[in-house]
Structure 1
Amino acid sequence: MQLLFSSDLHGNLKHYAQLIEEANNHGSDALLLGGDICPRRKGLVVQKMRETTGRSKAHEPPEESKEFSDMMKNDSVRLQQEWFEASLVPLLQTCRCPVYMIMGNSDFRANLGSFKRTLEALPPIQRHGREHQHITMMDGLEVTPLRLGPDPEVVYHLMGVSFIPPTPHSMKDWELMDTPEDCLYYQHVLAPRPPGYNPPPPRIYRNSRIAVDGCRSDSTDNCGSSVLSICSLSLDAKDSLEGLLHQTLSREPPLGISNIDPARLIVMAHTPPFATGLDLMASHAHVGSLGLLRFLRTVQPLVSLHGHIHETVRMSKTHIDRLQGEYPVEKGVVGVDASRRFVDSPDRTRWEAPEPESSQPNPANRSGTIAVASGNDFKKERAWCILVDVGPDGAAKVKRYQSASPTVLCDIGNLRISDHR
């Protein structure tokens, strides 16, 4: 089984065409798209203003103008839906294998229902004498079976995760607090204070700054005048990203992975795991999900595929990381260590790490999970993609390359960290 993966194309139709050509030329069994599939709302609004007003770039209204802000609020959801149906769907139909995609933080959640209905109405595709839905848009957290090979009894499962930890950006459609510890921390920081008390800035979050308040698109398919509403992230531990992932352990598909062999589970998450070579920004901050990291270490799927951070491969010099054993702890950074807990002190800002506990044995008795980042930059000339080749024995090989730039397969079963640092 061959899977071709990429992420963060942000509406670059040239990159989509390159990926489809690669999938068709390789005879891939499926094309996987890991979020941020649509253009950013600012680009859609600017393009629409140029079309409707005939203005050149030099005569566009400033971003702080009422005309621009009104279109950003009232029209961006509808414009993204129109682009998807008019531009992307016809192009993806030229792919000769099934396509599975998830949304990312730049994709409006309000369009999820309409996207799914559009794709479900398309004619199916034939693979190995069986019909498959040609293009599948997965929910924010969904598990779907993959029967892509010639033997229908060989079943893999794909777990799609659109949710990400908080960011400094205003759109919160797919953002959740990362871990229960984060929820506890912000409950303390944002709690009412006595008169005259000056709390610490509530935006400090590990190595980066976040916003817990923002806006979301309507949960309905109504794309009228009020498509964006003010919101705040839930500080309930069960609503955290780690809390949702933990619930999947006891649920059957499509809501969970109970009774699924981890060796036949493939995770496609828009956010990368925290403190790896896959979540490093240009500022040298790690901004991935600690909750996802814990989940992957617990479950140990065959492979996990990630996007979100465009520059991570350029910064870390690696696109692949093995998640096994204890991960490194960066000293003095709030919330890095999975064992750290919040300690209620007078200023309620102090974190303390308890004594380290002995490492738990590997529950699956496997050598760890291989996590891979596409590191795609939609502004570049060619798209970066990941080819995952799963053999009949369940062993997997993976390579990262730019379209039309083949490279050597790397056997992840024998990979050591020193091989790619």
Structure 2
Amino acid sequence: MEHKVVFSSDIHGNETQYAKLCDYTEREDAQTLIIGGDIAPKGMPVCDFIQGQRDFLRGRFRRFFERLKSRRPDINIFIIMGNDDVAVNLDVLEEVDPELFRVIHGVRARINEKYEIVGYPYVPITHVRLKDWDKFDVAQYPEGFRQAEIDKKNEWNLRALKSVKRRRGLMPWPLFSTYFEFESSTLNPADAEKDSIERDLANPVFTERAGKTVYVMHAPPYGTNLDQAGVGYHVGSVAERMFIEREQPHVTLHGHIHGTVKRSGDFRNRIGDTMSLCSGNRPIGNDLALVTFALAHPEAAQRLII
């Protein structure tokens, strides 16, 4: 019997999509469900962002999988965060009984007697304000990736919060406005020597048994069908691309760039013998994009909109 895998990403707290994902997984009797990051809602005021995501992860998010597990007790559920998920809330996921779901940030877990899985939530530095899961990509861009270095430098200019002030208005009743003062800063590329995606992926937890491992990486590999954000250049990870070329994993699963499938026309990209896949899910609306495949045959994966 084929071991069926269901994968999606970038649901961003959309409860209709979560319900569809769990219902499909149950209906198709899949053995493994994988969620590739950006799991919590983000459409909240800044002052409510951390607690709002925390409440969602501890409550409604968890209940979707409790219901699925009650009906399919033997299913594997693996989860990572993404760059729009607040890292300080990771403890809410890790406090969950691993029999419900496993958080696989830099952790290997067994899928079955033949295959393992490991996750990686970090993305190359972005223009997005939340920086919990941003990292420098590589210490030095190798030949063949010089254009990536030029393009990505645009992402290194930051606006750091300097102060927050409340001012009373001139109205005849109490009225306060909040003013945020920012200052510009630029990241130092020399810091990439100390901490980068490239450095992380050199760890044995990632390099061991690559040919029998499913890699769940929120960021897509650079220069593929999976990293087209409509900004005029590829936004994926050079480090991941080099890792895949060198280690040739069994399969890699990605998210992060919602509209890439629409732009590129394909949810797949073959790198050597490795098939890299993304769901290309758009969290706005009720339609859910997912990828499903037999664990031993990711090259035959299908992408569905339900």
The TM-score bracket by the shorter chain reads 0.7 to 0.9
Q: 1:106 to 1:236 in 2, by over 3 A?
A: same
* Structure 1 residues 384 and 208: CA distance shift in structure 2, 3 A: farther
- Distance, in Å, in 2 between the alignment partners of 1:116 and 1:205 is 38
Contact 2:127 2:158 in 1 (8 A): no
Q: Distance in 2 between matches of 1:402 and 1:99?
A: 21
| Alpha-carbon separation, structure 1, partners of 2:232 and 2:256 | 15
Task: State the 1:168 CA deviation.
Answer: 0.8
Counterpart amino acid of residue 78 in structure 2: Y
Does residue 76 (structure 1) correspond to residue 49 (structure 2)? The answer is yes
Matched with 1:44 is 44
Q: What is the CA-CA distance between 1:212 and the residue it aligns to?
A: 5.2
What does the per-residue CA deviation read over 1:80-108, in whole Å, with 9 as the maximum and x for residues that have no partner? 10111121101121222221110000001
TM-score, normalising length from structure 1? 0.60
Q: In structure 2, which of residues 279, 282, 287 is the aligned counterpart of residue 377 of structure 1? A: 282
Q: Is the 8 A contact 1:390 1:396 kept in 2?
A: no
State the partner residue of 1:221. none
Partner of 2:34: 32
Equivalent position amino acid for 1:283 in 2: V
1:211 and 2:159 are equivalent in the alignment? no
Choose the corresponding residue for 1:133, options 99, 108, 114: 99
1:319 aligns with 2:222: no
- Amino acid in structure 1 at the alignment position of 2:292: L
Residue 401 in structure 1 maps to residue 304 in structure 2:
yes
Q: Normalising to structure 2: TM-score of the pair?
A: 0.81
Q: Provide the C-alpha distance between the structure 1 equivalents of 2:30 and 2:159, rounded to a whole number of angstroms.
A: 40
Report if the CA contact (8 A) 1:172-1:214 is conserved: no
Q: 1:32 to 1:137 in 2, by over 3 A?
A: same
Aligned residues of 2:121 and 2:219 also touching (Cα < 8 A): yes
Task: Tell me, in whole angstroms, the C-alpha distance in 2 between the residues paired with 1:3 and 1:138.
Answer: 16
Q: Could you say which residue in structure 2 is the equivalent of 1:169? A: 128
Q: Which amino acid aligns with 1:239?
A: D
What aligned pairs does 1:11-410 form with structure 2 within 5 A after superposition?
11-40=13-42, 43-45=43-45, 72-73=46-47, 75-95=48-68, 96=72, 97-117=75-95, 119-120=96-97, 133-139=99-105, 141-147=106-112, 154-181=113-140, 205-206=150-151, 209-211=154-156, 213=158, 235-246=191-202, 248=203, 251=204, 255-258=205-208, 260=209, 262-324=210-272, 368-391=273-296, 397-403=300-306
Q: Residue 176 of structure 2 corresponds to which residue in structure 1? A: none
Distance 1:372 1:2, change over 3 A: same
Question: What 5-or-longer segments of structure 1 have no aligned partner?
Answer: 46-71, 121-131, 148-153, 183-203, 217-229, 325-367, 404-421
Q: Deviations over 1:108-146 (max 9, x none)?
A: 1111123211x12xxxxxxxxxxx71212222x222221
| Cα shift readout 1:240-291 (whole Å, capped 9, x = no counterpart) | 1111101x2xx3xxx4443x2x331111100000001110112342100000
Q: Which has the higher strand share?
A: 2
Question: Does structure 1 retain, via aligned residues, the 8 Å contact 2:8–2:291?
Answer: yes
Structure 1 vs Structure 2 CA RMSD: 2.4
The residue matched to 2:235 in structure 1 has which SS? coil
d(CA) in 1 for partners of 2:100, 2:122: 24
In 1, Cα distance between the equivalents of 2:292 and 2:61?
A: 22
- For the structure 1 residues 396 and 282, does the alpha-carbon distance in structure 2 shift closer, same or farther, using more than 3 Å as the test? closer
Residue aligning to 1:197: none
Residues 305, 379 of structure 1: alpha-carbon distance in 2 compared, 3 angstrom cutoff = same
Instruction: For CA contacts below 8 A with separation 6 or more, give which structure has more relative contact order.
Output: 2
Q: How many residue pairs align between the two structures?
A: 269
**Contact preservation (8 Å) 2:207, 2:247:** no
> Unpaired runs of 5+ in structure 2?
142-148, 162-182
Distance in 2 (alpha carbons) for counterparts of 1:312 and 1:288: 11
CA distance in structure 1 between the partners assigned to 2:159 and 2:102 by the alignment: 29
For residue 396 of structure 1, report the CA deviation from its aligned partner: 5.3
**Partners of 1:384 and 1:400 within 8 A in 2:** yes
Retained in 2: the 8 A contact 1:274–1:290?
yes
Give, as a single letter, the amino acid of the residue that structure 1 aligns with 2:44.
L
C-alpha displacement of 1:388: 1.8
User: SS at the partner of 2:59?
Assistant: helix
**In the alignment, is the contact (CA less than 8 A) between 2:8 and 2:36 conserved in 1?**
yes
CA contact (8 A) 1:169 1:211 kept: no
| CA–CA separation in structure 1 for the residues paired with 2:279 and 2:136 | 24
